[in-house]
Amino acid sequence: METETHIDAKGLLCPLPVLRLRKVLEALPAGACVVLEATDGASWIDVPHFCAQAGHTLLEAEDLGHIKRYRIRK
């Protein structure tokens, strides 16, 4: 079973959720998956943009109301 790294970025404002995501992804091997949870509404735009620019795959983005959850593959 594939393990996922979880990042709790709830309560952090732009650009901190993406900066935390970038730092975690840098330390992981290719193919690794990360789940990011954020409350910052700007992450809905920032995370997909970061993934496209950095070459990561946004597998899933869920808007759960006050929490946005993203699943990313390096």
Examine the residue annotation and report whether 33 is marked as an active-site residue of this protein: no
The type of residue at 31 is G
Give the gyration radius of the chain's Cα atoms: 11
Choose the catalytic residue: 12, 14, 35, 54: 14
Burial (CB < 10 A; 0-12, 13-18, 19+), residue 23, is exposed
Q: Which residues are known catalytic residues? A: 14
